[in-house]
Amino acid sequence: MEGSIVSRSRIFISLVVVLCLCTLASAKSIDVNMTFLHPGVNNSGGFYTYPYYFSINGGAPTALMCDSFTNHITQGQSWTASVTGLLQGKGLFGKDFLDYKAAGIIFLGVMHGTIDPNIGNWAVWNLFTKGISTDPNVLALDAQALFKAKHSGSGALKGLVLYTAVGSKPGSGPQEFIGYNPRIVTTPEPESLLLLSTGLLGLAALVRRKLVRP
């Protein structure tokens, strides 16, 4: 009887481990072809700001926000980009979760009309390329967004995605863009995956203790 219980326990733990590995392995990106159509009318300091209009996979114009000040593109240029969740840790600037979270908060404010697009885009640029702006309005917005990023959850950022050119890095290759597209299914951010896998393993350990208890 005891051998049967131990056997069932091992089978259960093995299944949980496989599930954890499959969950972690599911953190994949989606590749799309994007073509820069034209910028919008907003301009500040000699640079176009949100929105930048793109055709993605040949679709209708989509408005996106640039987050990489030192990368450059030209009108009509096309490239392949990986689409990932904003906080998935696969953007141009790596696992800079706090800055990406603050950028998402600013982007939503600009998209909803509560933040000026010129100030908002400069604030996002300044998050990832520190010191490019001394505008007090930009610096104040960054401080507010970073504070909110530290003290709020990520639920409000659902649907925000990054379009990162394949092979790009800061200062080299096409720019990275932030957009909103709830139709694109992206995997949870790394912290969520880690919590899920840890919780499943903890459950497996608890069940094993109960199964082998005399």
pLDDT at res. 182: 85
pTM equals 0.77
Dihedral, 41, 44, 45, 51 alpha carbons, nearest 10? -70
Q: What local confidence, expressed as pLDDT, does residue 213 receive? A: 52
Mean pLDDT within 14-37: 61
Tell me the pLDDT tens digit for each residue of 50-80.
999 999 999 999 999 999 999 999 999 999 9
Give CA separation, 177 vs 52, 149, 168, in Å.
Answer: 9, 19, 12
pLDDT of residue 11 exceeding 80: no
How high is the pLDDT of residue 1? 53
Distance CA 107, CA 123 (A): 10
pLDDT score of 14 more than 70: no
What is the pLDDT at residue 96?
87
pLDDT at 184: 67
Chain centroid to Cα 39, Å, comes to 23
What is d(CA 128, CA 134) in angstroms, rounded to the nearest whole number?
A: 14
Q: Which are the contacts of 159, defined by CB distance < 8 A and separation ≥ 6?
A: 180, 181, 182
The pLDDT > 90 percentage for the chain reads 69
Confidence category of residue 166, pLDDT binned at 50, 70, 90:
very high
pLDDT tens sequence across 120-148: 999 999 999 999 999 999 999 999 999 99
Count, residues in the chain: 214
